[in-house]
Amino acid sequence: MMHDGAEGHTFKRFDGQLSNLHLMVVEMGQAVHQQVQDALTAVRTQDIQLAQKVLGRHQDIDRMEVRADAEIVEVIAQNAPLASDLRLVVAVSKSVGDLQKVGEEAARMAMLLEEIQLESAPPLMETLLAEVDRMGGSVLSHLDTAVGLFGQWDEEKALHVIAGHRQMDGDFQTELHRVMTCLLEESLDLKAAVRLVLVAKSLDRIIHHALNLAEYAMFEVYGGVAVRS
């Protein structure tokens, strides 16, 4: 009986560790989502102080990744998980890596703000900035959905994120072509325009990471990943 009780305690502890791994992904995802949202707000409003806050919080994201990695190592060392439990650990490990990269993109956007001066920007530049902001709203929505899959699995939402990745790829290419055309035909600040393109590129990378998150969640549930097209 003592052996059975100890075994039951071990199982409960292991279940708690697995649940905690899910929670760590969700918490880190929420923190990263806020970073991207604040970076986009800073770019839209030209708020240098908010951009500096984003940069200041970047180390917090790195620390969250380190803590998650340490927890993953401990779970593997103590329990040697197999089958679905191992898939969960692998999915979490990959997810925290992608979330850390999303945090890097948020910091990159904040840094770019310092080189975008739009106080006397022509209407066309303001239009381009608004379009980048629209893309950002879509990216945030998909990132939020992808992170939520680790709290509550929903296949339809996962497929929505995957479809959104293809849409965002098209949006980025369209916007890049538009900016290049405007640079040739209009009198625009070359430096500011290039920085906006780089912000859009960061958004393009973030949607790729959101796709990865959705596929990791799908891998955890089904043992396979979605086919990209």
Radius of gyration of the chain (CA): 21
Note whether residue 52 is domain-resident.
yes
The residue range of the domain holding 145 is: 2-222
Tokens of residue 183, six digits = 């640079």
Over residues 183-197, mean pLDDT: 71
**In this predicted structure, what is the pLDDT of residue 184?**
65
Note whether residue 43 is domain-resident.
yes
Q: Look up residue 184 and give its amino acid.
A: L
- Of 32, 199, 31, the residue nearest 103 (C-alpha): 32
Q: How many domains does the chain have?
A: 1
Note whether residue 112 is domain-resident.
yes
Burial zone of 196 (CB within 10 Å; 0-12 exposed, 13-18 middle, 19+ buried) = buried
pLDDT class for 71, splitting at 50, 70, 90?
A: very high
Note whether residue 183 is domain-resident.
yes
Note whether residue 228 is domain-resident.
no
Cα 151-156-159 angle, rounded to 5 deg: 100
Higher pLDDT, 44 or 169: 44
HSE at residue 163, side-chain half, CA atoms within 13 A, is 6
Note whether residue 227 is domain-resident.
no
Over residues 52-67, mean pLDDT: 95
CB neighbours (10 Å) of residue 106?
28
Q: Domain with 33 in it: what CATH number? A: 1.20.58.220
What span, in angstroms and rounded, lies between the C-alpha atoms of 32 and 21?
A: 16
Note whether residue 229 is domain-resident.
no
Tokens of residue 111, six digits = 């840094």
pLDDT class for 2, splitting at 50, 70, 90?
A: very low
Note whether residue 169 is domain-resident.
yes
What secondary structure does DSSP assign to 67-120, as a single string?
Answer: HHHHHHHHHHHHH---HHHHHHHHHHHHHHHHHHHHHHHHHHHHHHHTT---TT
- Of 59, 58, 41, the residue nearest 50 (C-alpha): 41
